[in-house]
Structure 1
Amino acid sequence: MKRSTVAAGLGLAVIVQVCVLVGMVVKAAMPLWVGDEIRVQTVPVDPRSLFRGNYARLNYEIGRLPESALTDYPRLRKGEVVYISLRQGDDGLFHYADASLNTPAAGVFLRGRITDSSPVYRVKYGIEAYFAPKKKALKLEHDLRDGGVAVLMVSDNGQVALHNVLPGPDE
């Protein structure tokens, strides 16, 4: 094999890898750029980790589906994609409305994955951790003891990104 052929092949491999990495970053940031803002109730679980830095692990009402959800479907496996429709309540926050394996035709919905199916379904959306500088993380720990509001950016295809976490509506 010629050196120029090997060099061209290596160059192409590097370019493909860079393009894949850039694509992953762009896909993750898309909801922040083009998404609509919604707010949901959240409760912090763990304010810090020695390995991951200062963050709050968040739980959501929409992370645990009611037992009546998805009864029209056979038992779902871990990793299956689900779409959770939301509706805005009188409190201004968005709450669970319905769940489906098919993309909803209209309305606000989130795309998530089943992480546990016994006895009720648990869903993850990729917004379960909020990283912050040490001072902000400590303030969040104090301010969010009784819960808070997560500001989410949702794109038209249900992809979601965590934009901010605020103290609860009562504060």
Structure 2
Amino acid sequence: MKNKAIIFASLLQPILLLLMVFYAFVPLYFGKEIVMQVHGYDPMDPFRGNYVNLRYDFNDIDNIKKSKNYAVLEEKNNIHYTKKIIDKKPKSGIYIQGIYNNFGIQKYFTTEKNAITLQNKLADPNYKSYAKIKIFKGNARIVEINFIKNNKK
């Protein structure tokens, strides 16, 4: 009986690990691709690696409950914006699930070289930045960050 418990415990750990990885990659393979405008900066954290902190329009919405929330999105000119944040799962439409004001797409991890490029362009007022995101049943993952040069002269 003791051997069965040890075998079960040793098999359970890698299975749970594989399920966590699968859960993280599901939006990338099965999700709907959208684009949202972002603002950000590179915090240069030596312990977490190379990443960029991103801010979306839902980060500026006040009165968000400190529980599970859903950012309901709407599309205008091929860009998605937050229409509203609600505390009940929407029956239809595109939405991102989060807790309080964290929707799981505020950090974008990348290589050191790419992080420096991203930081420079995010800080440059001559560029608008957009995140290409895939969403599957409220779970969102960032695919890439793109930049468009402003046409102001």
Q: Could you state the TM-score of these two structures normalised by the residue count of structure 1?
A: 0.79
Q: Does 1:100 align with 2:86?
A: yes
Contact 1:47–1:137 under 8 Å retained in 2: no
Aligned to 1:119: none
* Alignment check: 8 A CA contact 1:56 1:141 kept: yes
CA gap of 1:99–1:110, structure 2 versus 1, over 3 A, is same
After superposition, the CA RMSD in angstroms is 1.8
Deviation of the 1:137 alpha carbon: 1.0
Please name the residue that 1:118 is paired with: none
Relative distance call for 1:148 and 1:141 in structure 2 (3 A) is: same
> Which has the higher mean CA deviation after the structures are superposed, 143-152 or 128-137?
143-152
For 1:59 and 1:101, how far apart are their aligned partners in 2?
Answer: 21
What CA distance in whole angstroms lies between the structure 1 residues aligned with 2:6 and 2:140?
Answer: 36
Work out whether residues 42 and 115 of structure 2, in 8 Å CA contact, stay in contact via their aligned partners in 1: no
Separation in 2, partners of 1:125, 1:105: 19
TM-score, structure 2 as length reference: 0.87
How many Å separate the matches in 2 of 1:32 and 1:158? 12
* Deviation per residue, 1:34-62 (Å, 9 max, x gap): 00111111111224211111111111112
Q: Give the 3 Å change call, closer, same or farther, for CA 109–169 of structure 1 in structure 2.
A: farther
* Amino acid of the structure 1 residue aligned with 2:55: N
Q: 1:133 aligns with which of 111, 129, 136?
A: 111
Q: Does the CA-based 8 Å contact 2:41-2:119 persist in structure 1? A: no
2:37 is matched with which residue: 41, 56, 63? 41
Tell me whether 1:166 sits opposite 2:146 in the alignment: yes
The answer for unaligned runs of 5 or more in structure 2 is none
* Aligned partner (choices 99, 112, 120) of residue 142 of structure 1: 120
- Figure out how many residues of one structure are paired with residues of the other and give that number: 148
Is the 1:83–1:99 contact (alpha carbons within 8 Å) kept by the matching residues of 2?
yes
Match of 2:44, SS state, is strand
Alignment partners' CA distance in 2, 1:134 and 1:34: 29
Residue identity (%): 25
Alignment partner, residue 120 of structure 1: none
User: What is the deviation of 1:168?
Assistant: 3.9
1:86 aligned residue: 73
